[in-house]
Structure 1
Amino acid sequence: MGRGWKRISWSASASTTPPNSRRSWARSDSRSRPGSAITGAGHPALQLPARSCLPGGPRDAPAHALLDPGTGTPVNLHIQTLSGTHLVRQYLAGEPSALAFYPGGHPGDPAAYRAKAEEVRGRFDQESRERLTRMLTGGGENGQSRLRRFVEEGGLAVTTGQQPGLFGGPLFSLYKALTAAALARWLEEDLGVPVIPVFWVASEDHDWEEVRRVSLPDMANDLVTLELPDRPGAGELPLHRMPMGPEGPEALEALLALLPDTEFRPDLEADLRAAYREGATLPSAFAELLRRHLAMAGVFILSPEHPEAQAAALPVLLAEARGARERADALARRAGELEAAGYHSQVTILEGGANLFLEGAQGRDRLFVEPSAQGSGRGTGKGEGNGEGGGAAEGPPLRMRREGRVLTQEALAGEAGRDPALLSPGVLLRPVVESTLVPTLAYVAGPGEIAYLAQTAPVFAAHGIRPPVVHPRLSAAVVESRVEKVLRKFGLELADLSRPHHEVVGRVIRDDLPPEVREAMGKLKGAIALGSKELQKAVRQVDPTLAGPVDHVRNQGFSLLDDLEKKVVQARKRESGIAVQQIEKAQVQLFPGGTPQERVFPAVYYLVRYGPELMSRWMDAARGAVLPGRSPGGEGGDEPGHDRGQGPGHDLEAEPAGPTGS
């Protein structure tokens, strides 16, 4: 499993307390001290702009630093650039060639949101907004009054989402939600109407393997992975159909055994116990924990298995079924256009594949256009456009990939009509379903989602919907004082720790070699280079063909010198065991297993230590991540460890990418 990892699987018979995993932390002085807690990696403290339209109103008081409960010293939040594939980087930089694949416009352009608002107002009325409010939970203490305003004043929404993760999943899920809340408040002031943030819990996802585990450091700073056991139906049934047995609460006890005793623990433990109880599903537990975590940010939660959501989505799903062949052709053309422009498709387009899943005898099964129907029985297009008219119209018969059963359009409509939960969207249709249920202005996405949303324009167009603006999520790292101390001690930047452990240690050791050793090595390298150059010049007068052997001797000399340098470094490493351990511990905190912290650790790991004040700092950071009004390109660039694609069912990354599994 890699350096410093442990794996613990929990079943009904498992012991629930990992050995040597529990220590009591003395409560620290909880008073805040002046000083910024938000910095950019390798840069001085970032002063976030005051924005009265964002959560909490104007920032008219100085920022306060979080305190490390072990040392009483400040904890920093390092803001990072969200990067991704070549397409994602160019989109965020405002390059026209990339923007052509995002009809919603650039996230830094206020006009893009205003244009989308006009389109949404033409599709949503008071009744559709009232229907949405019945599907939502959460929103904090003023949630109901905000929803009343949303209905009465023609409100809009910023959405984001993620497949459910054990104990809240990785930090980036929280960062998505907080970015959506910050953007919603910015847009509310700009547009003059209520704009609510909505988090879509992808409960229809069936990737049990992706969501059943979580990793975090124990008190010895070893990375521990807690995982629920495999089970019948895993990977086949939608997650919302898989209630947890006693293994759920037992895994929770294992998590609690890894968390320190702090003043914030009782409330956090109560939240976790309320969510992860026997009989709950992973999606319902995830939604409940998010609802509690995000109350102060005013985020609403939407689970698509809600009966009204399923009923409202059904006309769109049946319209997609009728146009399955045309959609497959359009998506294949889109993939070709991306390739021709120098990009690649994030989601592989399967020949004849429909953007639909039907639950059958073998679980959630992908639908395909029946091969025998290729080139015949083309859909009439009835019911397409706005998704209205859910009756069965002409269209190709569809085949279930695993089960092999073939359904006519009438048969599919009949099954889905009897139980709408059986039919669900694929990754490229889900954003369209969301935009049908929610008056979405913008979607807050991770890098993998930004990449695959470039493929969705043909699907939106077929249903008569303008795609929302795609806005990047916050990317950040919590850097505790002990880790900050290691960075300063060895002259390292945050991104340096993304490199393999042996490379980081080797660099630090080389930099720490006695000056006389480095000077002597440098002189010897210079002497070999100069001497071989002079010798080569001299031997050419004797025989020009001797230049090659001289090159060989020079290269051998450099190679032997490199070997010697490695031996010197190894000898120094043996004398520098403490430094090696310190670097290793810092890497576990910032890049566990070589993956950015935000894609591994759950929020509870930090909330139990720093409480609501950390949530306030994350909200501050999300305010600074809001892009409208900024010039394109201000957020562009690469970050080591971030240039990874993320396919459906896999954020990150590979980070699970959004509601498909972002």
Structure 2
Amino acid sequence: MISRILSTPIPMPAGTLPAGTPRRIHADALASMLPGPGRDRLANGEVLTITTGQQPGLFTGPLYTVYKALSAIALADRIERERGVPVVPVFWVAGDDHDFAEANHAWVLGRDGEPVKITLRERAHDAPQLPLFRESLGSDIGAALDALDAALPDSECKPDVRQWLAACYRPEMNLADAGAEALNRLLGARGKGLAVFRAHDRAAKRAAAPWLLLALDETLADGLSPVLVEGRLGRDRLRKDGGGFVTRRSGERFTRGQLEKIAAETPERLSPNVLLRPVIEAALFPTLAYLGGPGEMGYLPESAPLFSRLGVAPQAHVPRWSGVIIEARIDKVLSKHGLTPAEFNEQPGALESRLAKADLPPDLAASLDELRADVESRFARISGEVQLLDPTLERTVEAARNAALAGTNEIEKKLVASLKRTQGTVVSQLSRARAALAPLGKPQERVLTIASFLARYSGSLLDEIDREVARWAAAS
């Protein structure tokens, strides 16, 4: 059972939401939405939106993808109640992203409670950097689903998770559309409906094309355009060169006329970089706020000049909800040792050593502290005398002091190691807790996928997270 959901607020300020003007959504943008109540509400008339987004990943990627969507649903619901106008949450599936190494895998907690990596396949280092919507799942997805099945513990919920993912991640699907479909099936009907937007879809690109062409004339601090084109080596940044443009990696040349033709005939070949993307989003949707994580909140303000020069009103930036799922078995370990989840963010082994050190016999611990203090005191006196007699020997004294302290620390280190060996059960408990709370030494939400927990606790887990997210939205 789940013991509790712990909110871990992102310590970054939220922007002030603008008044906003409700408007109808562009027909091409609507055509790129997956079917569901969210899309229906967007098509029903003038609306406002709350947006968030993420590149797609295998089996929906890390937990924070789901947290972003739930945050948008909750905040949209709150603002709609306050303002009395339709406010629709929109999830921007960034399927034109090309970071395959980040999207090709998912992490779950295995049967033994340790993290297990499920990988679709690797991309050769020198392969074209294709956008994710060009990456067909193919026959590899069958092996990935089987690996997921083998990793997860058996439960009543597990077959439902397998059925959900297998229905979305099919051989004929690409990674982007599969991720969008999985998110839509999981959360599309939640609240009043989440609108899942396939930003890589041809219709979406047609809607974005005028803004992408306008942005060609912009040059960022790195000397490149905020627009990318899909060329011989995959997605590639453009750079103005004379009267035309050249790609950064492949060196392909394009005239403005050629890029305008691409925008008209194969608009999916053009895409915005991370600074232009929020501008395109605000141009397509009447967005009050974009909900992002710490990284996004850090760089989104850099988009301000593009908003100004392209004449698009910016949305506010609001930190999404962040949290930790604490299973009952893990909560018992925390309670037993008086620990908090944050303490597992230390380097592996540091917490175990600290607890073992606390178990040193008091007299022995006091003697070690006294020895260190005595070494410091005596060498301080020696150093003072040496400076008067022969300052050139000061380094020799310092080296001797450090060696004496190192010897004391080595004694303590070996005593702690001995205690850790005799406290094998405690070390094992802490190891399992770390695997669940800070797998790979990172926050849980940045590693583990939602499937890892749905297979253990069913969809009721989402209801529990929802309650915490609703409290966050009420205070945002």
Q: TM-score when scaled to structure 2?
A: 0.91
The code of the aligned residue for 1:422 comes to: R
Where does residue 200 of structure 2 map in the other structure? 305
In 1, distance between residues paired with 2:237 and 2:398? 61
Query: What is the CA deviation profile of residues 463-498 of structure 1, one whole-angstrom value per residue up to 9, with x for unaligned ones?
Result: 211210001011111111222222233332211111
The match for 2:212 is: 317
Residue identity matched to 1:418: E
1:397 lines up with 2:244 in the alignment: yes
**Residue 621 of structure 1 corresponds to which residue in structure 2?**
468
After TM superposition, the structure 1 = structure 2 runs for residues 80-95 of structure 1, keeping only pairs within 5 Å, are 80-83=8-11, 89=12, 92=13
Matches within 5 A, 1:570-581: 570-581=417-428
Is 2:39–2:195's contact at 8 Å kept on the other side of the alignment?
no
What are the superposed Cα offsets for residues 243-265 of structure 1, whole Å, 9 maximum, x if unpaired? Answer: 11111122111112222232322
Cα separation, partners in 2 of 1:414 and 1:132, compared to 1, 3 Å: closer
Tell me the SS of whatever aligns to 2:214: helix
How far residue 168 of structure 1 moved from its aligned partner, in angstroms, is 0.8
Q: CA deviation at 1:266?
A: 3.0
Alpha carbons of 1:571 and 1:201: their partners in 2 closer, same or farther (altered >3 Å)?
Answer: same
Q: Is the 8 A contact 1:209 1:235 kept in 2?
A: no
Alignment of 1:357-372 (within 5 A): 357-370=228-241
Letter in 2 for 1:76: R
What do you get for the CA RMSD once the two structures are aligned?
2.6
Aligned to 1:113: 18
Is residue 2:193 matched to residue 1:296? no
- 1:133 corresponds to: 30
Residue 401 of structure 1: how far off its partner (Å): 2.6
Match of residue 30 from structure 1: none
Task: Look up the match of 2:68.
Answer: 176
Cα distance in structure 1, aligned partners of 2:28 and 2:91: 16
**Kept in 1: contact 2:109–2:152 (CA 8 A):** no
Partner SS state of residue 467, structure 1: coil
Offset from partner CA, 1:68-100 (integer Å, 9 cap, x none):
2xxxxx5121111314xxxxx4xx1xxxxxxxx
Residues 1:254 and 2:254 are matched in the alignment: no
Query: Counterpart amino acid of 1:288?
Result: E
Q: Which residue type is aligned with residue 133 of structure 1?
A: L
- Bigger fraction of residues in helix: 2
Instruction: Report if the CA contact (8 A) 2:130-2:235 is conserved.
Output: yes
Aligned counterparts of 2:322 and 2:387: Cα–Cα separation in 1? 62
- Is residue 100–residue 123 contact of structure 2 (8 Å, CA) maintained in 1? no
Superposition pairs for residues 467-506 of structure 1, below 5 Å?
467-506=314-353
1:208 aligns with 2:100: yes
The one-letter code of the counterpart of 2:195 is F
Give the deviation of 1:144 after TM superposition.
6.0
- Gap change, CA 1:185 and 1:234, over 3 Å in 2: farther
Q: Could you state the TM-score of these two structures normalised by the residue count of structure 1?
A: 0.67
**What's the offset of the Cα at 1:527?**
4.7
Q: What secondary structure does 1:214 align onto? A: strand
The counterpart of 1:268, out of the listed 134, 146, 161, is: 161
Q: Does structure 1 residue 287 correspond to structure 2 residue 134?
A: no
Deviates more, 1:197-206 or 1:228-237: 228-237
> 1:536-576 CA deviation, whole Å, 9 max, x = no partner?
69x96x99549968877665543322221112112212212
2:300 to 443, 449, 453: 453
Of 45, 50, 75, 2:3 maps to 75
Q: Is the 8 A contact 1:216 1:601 kept in 2?
A: yes
How far apart, in 1, do the equivalents of 2:463 and 2:451 lie?
15
1:240 has 2:137 as partner: no
CA shift in 2, pair 1:545/1:485, >3 Å: farther
User: Percent identity of the aligned residues?
Assistant: 35
Please give the alpha-carbon distance, in whole angstroms, between the structure 2 residues aligned to 1:163 and 1:550: 57
Equivalent position amino acid for 2:473 in 1 = V
CA shift in 2, pair 1:520/1:564, >3 Å = same
| 1:100-149 deviation digits (Å, cap 9, x = unpaired) | xxxxxx43x4xx332xx04xx4xx4x4x355543332254xx4466345x
